Structure 1
């Protein structure tokens, strides 16, 4: 069932973070929240780049896909400049290329394609049959039970105020150290209201699409992103937007990892509305390697 969540400071911070300042016609500047992170969250850079690109296309065109590469870690202490290049404006489609720059160097680039809404064939894969989010521990219950004996890095991550609430169907992968099947399902929802702006809602969906993905690849090896002996980073990110994002209720992020090799892990995901509608599809490859011993 849909709901209108009450205002939440963490969600307000995200919305301010996505409200880029226009410097010139195709040049934008974005800030990062100062929450103690050593590098900018990749989902933030994707979302900000998408906002920048969206502001340069007609109001009747909506993003249907994006393809991005992370080149360098983002520095949260300084602004990120987004330079948008118009590649094409056609009768139905528009294409934009965005380069994110810090300290005079590109840290990220993305190509996004926008389309005027039109009718056509429709089909989709079925949403997995999983327990509803209400049957899973909420954040307070996780703190009281699952996180009580968890290592400090895991507690710090899951207890941090965030704009997106996560309810994984299984928390065991973070605590057991056992090799598990490289797939997982995570219920996600915004922790505060999001304006009825289709472009902004697509950006929020892009933001959350970068959450929990690489853990799916690591599950097959009995570890997680909290393993401090590993060097882990997103390398690229692709996303296809099938339908407008309903952000007034839970979304199911169903993920799998078909392969790890060469110090990299590939993950895929489908984002479904609670009613079972496939909203978006995601693919990401990440760096996964043992840190060099100094």
Structure 2
């Protein structure tokens, strides 16, 4: 494969400067973005899959979509009875939003009960932009399970406003951030988006309720991918709270560097899930965020962690 085949414009007239104004992204649009087209037979050692980019935000591709498409591309090459176990991803360079994505999936290893895949996105010169190593394993219900973590005690999702309702019409919040999302997104406390939202003595961590805006297909790849997509929405936001700063004041910025997911059970965002996250360390402009996702019965289904570059505005 020649390097210049890894990235191609969606249309001949594609122009980054002509990108549409940011707006909401519906669940139907995200599900369509998870429909990848194979460019080689899925049984080959190295396969390629073509997907489309999400146009919002406009400056670079949303990291959650990269995680989601990487899972789907790799999962198409795993055994039918295997489910995603873990994701270890590196955001190497910003990915533009004006062109299609061509994924390379390498079959790193195969065994009876477990396999390893590496999904890589490159630019036209062959440089890595994003890479994710995924492990896939069979599900063993006959083996004992144990989970020590429990969800935080917070108000239920029915008692909380949608994020888009909290900031509707507030011009200080980026338009794409305050518009409807593919998942219901309901923070249990006011997010530290603006200076007046920053607490003097903040409670540690941030909890968000998430649920798909409509029932999901019975497809384990789609369900795992949507959880990965949503896991990149708020895991680092607590850094602004602990630093006494604000997310959306001029100069605030988050850039993902690494992202990890461990799937303890198979999630289904057709039902409410609780995402408890916290930032336990910020040093040299880098923050470490960790979190747990619980289903509507309180079972711990996914663990998440992320290292990100954080730039804070002066209050």
Q: TM-score, normalised by structure 2?
A: 0.83
How much has 1:158 moved relative to structure 2? 4.0
Using a 3 Å threshold, how does the CA distance of structure 1 residues 139 and 234 change in structure 2: closer, same or farther?
closer
CA change 1:269–1:188 in 2 (3 A) is: same
Are 1:108 and 2:130 matched, yes or no?
yes
Q: Distance in 2 between matches of 1:259 and 1:213?
A: 13
1:164: which partner in 2?
Answer: 183
1:287 counterpart residue number: 309
Number of residue equivalences: 279
Matches within 5 A, 1:30-109: 30-35=51-56, 37-104=58-125, 105-109=127-131
Q: CA deviation at 1:138?
A: 3.4
Separation in 2, partners of 1:117, 1:229: 45
Distance in 1 (CA, whole Å) between partners of 2:112 and 2:312 is: 49
1:36–1:114 CA distance, 2 compared to 1 (3 A): closer
Task: Tell me whether 1:261 sits opposite 2:283 in the alignment.
Answer: yes
Say if 1:265 and 1:40 are closer, same or farther in 2 by CA, change over 3 A.
same
Q: Which residue of 2 aligns with 1:11?
A: 27
Name 2:36's counterpart in structure 1: 20
Deviations 1:199-257 (A, max 9, x none): 21111111111111111122111224323313420000000011111222111100111
CA RMSD of aligned residues (A): 2.0
8 A contact 2:276–2:293 mirrored in 1: yes
Counterpart of 1:185 (choices 204, 207, 227) is: 207
Which consecutive unaligned segments of at least 5 residues does structure 1 have? 1-7
1:121 aligns with one of 134, 139, 144: 144
Contact 1:43 1:210 in 2 (8 A): yes
Q: SS of the residue aligned with 1:232?
A: strand
Q: 2:159 aligns with which of 135, 145, 150?
A: 135
State the 1:173 CA deviation: 2.4
Provide closer, same or farther for how the CA distance between residues 139 and 210 of structure 1 changes in structure 2, counting only shifts above 3 A.
Answer: closer
How far does residue 102 in structure 1 lie from its aligned partner after superposition? 2.8
Structure 2 residue ranges without an equivalent (≥5): 1-23, 42-46
Separation (CA, whole Å) in 2 of partners of 1:240 and 1:85: 20
Determine the structure 2 residue equivalent to 1:211: 233
1:48-83 Cα deviation digits (max 9, x unpaired): 011000001110111110100000111110111110
SS class of match (2:99)? coil
CA distances 1:115-135 after superposition (whole Å, capped 9, x unpaired) = 011132312111212111111
For residues 269 and 140 of structure 1, the distance between their equivalents in structure 2, rounded to whole angstroms, comes to 23
Structure 2 CA distance for aligned equivalents of residues 276 and 183 of structure 1: 18
Give me the whole-angstrom Cα distance separating, in 2, the residues matched to 1:138 and 1:107: 33
- Alpha-carbon offset, residue 140 of structure 1: 6.8
Deviation at 1:290, TM superposition (A): 5.6
